[in-house]
Structure 1
Amino acid sequence: MGIDFPGVRPRGNSIVIDFNFNGTRCRESLRIKPTKTAVREAVRKREAILFEIAMGNFDYGKHFPNSKNALKFSKNKSALVTVEETLKQWIKKAEMRCQHSTIRDYNSAIYYHLIPAFGQITLEDFNVSYVYDWLDEINISNKRINNVLGPLRQALQDAFYDGIIEQNPMDRFRYLSPETREPQPFNQDEINRILNQLEGQCRNLIQFAFWSGLRTSELIALRWQDVDLPNNRVHIRTAIVRKREKTTKTVSGLRTVELQPKAREAIEAQATCNGQSLRVFHDPSSDTPWAGDHIIRKRLWIPALNAADVTYRNPYQTRHTFASMLLSAGKNPLWVAQQMGHKDWGMIRKTYGRWIPASTGN
């Protein structure tokens, strides 16, 4: 190119920057075509790096986040590593010291629960509130929850020992009591008191939750195109978890839910608010779709229960309430299972057995 810049040179379709940091010679490639303008920009970048090194505030990961040296030299390593990467690195080490059956259980927890729920979060951003939000969305025993969270706790502890994080956020999470988490449905009086504390779109959302049995992730993902009022039903096709749309939790979760009278009433009221939008339910403070279930819980659900003087249960209990009401009314357990997205009625019998009338359950 006819221009010589110390520490900067073209190489193929990239530009290499050469500098010394902490007694180590570092070479980093910029994946850009080495035009004269690009080379001059690389020179300025190198000068900025040298100045930051001289001032003692050079952050390797900020300049070269994808470099192998970023984690080695970065002042904020936790911003460069995700929970998924941490779990995968931990399980590789565990494979050398644990029995095959133990590794199988760990892999089940990691790939079925932990990576889908937390994988894309960086260690810098991860905190125990994500775990409590996750608890609101699942329906497994406390014993299983403790087993699932075991690899996460240990992987984060390794990250702490390696100096990537300053403390293990799971130290703030207490293992749950081993008893199975029993459904704690709301009675009709409690439902009325809660709904009386709400109005407009907030009331429509919670009323629909009580009378549809949808998970919160399914509620906030519900689209008007999936609402079929002429046939009195809604089609459940999507869920939103961590601000990302995905298909429902299981194949059986792809289902059609018949609208109970109170659920239809809520949908019809909601149609007058935002019937032309993509999503059915909106956050009235911004008139945009709810960003996540945790916002509903903190901004809407907890204040409503407090104002109604109703003992706190998480939003998932609206789903338990739906099931218990229908079963107590004598509805066929298999039909209830289909409405809730279970593949058979075994889960219904196990979880809600005491609400099934003897004549119905036989």
Structure 2
Amino acid sequence: MDRGYRGVTARGSTIQISFTFKGVQCRESLKLKPTKANLLYAARKREAIIFEIASNKFKFSEHFPNSRSKAAKYFGTEHNSQTTIEMALKAWVKTMQKKVQKSTLKDYNSIIYHHLIPYFGHCKLYELTTQMVEDWISDLQLSNKRINNILVPLKAIYKKAINQKVIPENPMKHIRNLPVQTREPQPFTPNEINRILNELEGQVKNYIQFAIWTGLRTSELLALKWEDIDYEQGVIHVKRAKVLGQEKSTKTKTGNRKVKLLSGACDALLNQERFTRNICDYIFHDPRHGRPWKNDEAIRKVFWYPALERAGIEKRNVYQTRHTYASLALSAGENLMWVSKQMGHDKPSTTLKSYARWISSMDSNAGSKLTKKIS
């Protein structure tokens, strides 16, 4: 009976009309029997509403003064209708100042001010639609991983708006993270390790050699202090990391760990002692000015990449020293659980996922085979 009228449906003894307002699908009931005349009335009422919406003249409460629907709750009173995405983002990032690390906060600000506010900032919270976000994503010339990170603040403000009942619908609930392809590790062979070290000298050589023999993250290497070295017990106490020149806790709880001090790492430390042992708490310094490294930018650009080029080795980032440690240890037959703990992974499956193809036979004589492999 109601098929001839778009957006008009008979519902028992009432008539329901549906329309989209400010990105929200609205369904309102009219207390009218679904007769032919009443259905025609409902269809014309819907057409008038569509016209008013297009003309920016629609007032929800005038058409549905007694409605108790979710849409009426918000649009009938224009509840928080003036809150823009820019306002919500700025308020959200302010609340995150004491909840996240300084480096994470810096990234959030970069995302908000360089990506989200320029594109969506002027919109009211209720105006954003899923289609708008999908169209925006399709135009971004960025990696899937970066796009996923950019979506974090946007998803956060809409989750908060829903929880606080500021908006009736969440346009981000259907936006899924894009698939991210994990980069395959590109570890160095023992021959390549020797060629690289032959192209380095002094403190930088000690730094790289120590990195290869410990598998520490770059941030952990930069934050390492002499007090963290226990020669007697033969271990390194990894307690902290340094990001953007600021110390912070390790990446995960399991990142706070003891790493076995193998011979290659011990030799690098003994060689490094004459440079910084009685000068500073931090072990590794930039030889150009004798101060602790703030980050790995100079290591990469000034020392590492030129050394690879001189050694005739394909360009790879410094983080491959960590992959080298893990892959050589596993291919030498070291126990997976032991390697996982040395790496500071939260669980062995994390290690297995990244380095499965290098696993050989398992052995409990931890560290001995790796020493032979690298030597």
Name the TM tier (shorter chain). 0.5 to 0.7
1:208-227 alignment to 2 at 5 Å? Answer: 208-227=210-229
CA deviations 1:192-219 (Å, max 9, x no partner) are 1111111010100000011110111111
CA deviations 1:312-340 (Å, max 9, x no partner) are 11111110000001111111110101001
Partner residue in 1 for 2:249: 247
Structure 1 counterpart of 2:190, one-letter code: Q
- Aligned partner of 1:115 among 90, 104, 129: 104
Distance 1:111 1:208, change over 3 A: same
Q: Which has the larger radius of gyration?
A: 2
Distance 1:124 1:147, change over 3 A: closer
Task: State TM-score, norm by structure 1.
Answer: 0.55
Distance 1:308 1:152, change over 3 A: farther
Q: Are positions 1:301 and 2:304 aligned together?
A: yes
1:140-219 alignment to 2 at 5 Å? Answer: 143-150=144-151, 178-219=180-221
Q: Which runs of 5+ in 1 are unaligned?
A: 1-85, 94-106, 127-141, 155-175
Partner residue in 2 for 1:272: 274
TM-superposed CA distance for 1:353, in Å, is 0.4
CA deviations 1:18-70 (Å, max 9, x no partner) are xxxxxxxxxxxxxxxxxxxxxxxxxxxxxxxxxxxxxxxxxxxxxxxxxxxxx
Partner residue in 1 for 2:42: none
CA distance in 2, matches of 1:322, 1:259: 13
TM-superposed CA distance for 1:189, in Å, is 1.2
SS in 1 for 2:236: strand
Partner residue in 2 for 1:161: none
Equivalent pair of 1:114/1:152 in contact (CA under 8 Å):
no
Partner residue in 1 for 2:59: none
Q: Which runs of 5+ in 2 are unaligned?
A: 1-84, 116-142, 156-177, 365-375
TM-superposed CA distance for 1:178, in Å, is 4.6
Equivalent pair of 1:204/1:267 in contact (CA under 8 Å):
yes
- Aligned partner of 1:281 among 284, 308, 314: 284
Partner residue in 2 for 1:312: 315
TM-superposed CA distance for 1:259, in Å, is 1.1
Equivalent pair of 1:143/1:180 in contact (CA under 8 Å):
no
CA distance in 1, matches of 2:245, 2:114: 15
TM-superposed CA distance for 1:115, in Å, is 2.8
TM-superposed CA distance for 1:118, in Å, is 2.5
Structure 1 counterpart of 2:358, one-letter code: W
CA distance in 2, matches of 1:293, 1:260: 24
Structure 2 counterpart of 1:308, one-letter code: A
- Aligned partner of 1:346 among 342, 346, 349: 349
CA distance in 2, matches of 1:339, 1:317: 16
Distance 1:358 1:272, change over 3 A: same
Equivalent pair of 1:248/1:254 in contact (CA under 8 Å):
yes
Equivalent pair of 1:113/1:148 in contact (CA under 8 Å):
no
Distance 1:88 1:339, change over 3 A: farther
Equivalent pair of 1:221/1:239 in contact (CA under 8 Å):
yes
- What's the C-alpha RMSD, in Å, of the aligned pairs? 3.5
SS in 2 for 1:310: coil
Task: State TM-score, norm by structure 2.
Answer: 0.54
Distance 1:298 1:329, change over 3 A: same
Partner residue in 1 for 2:240: 238
SS in 1 for 2:294: coil
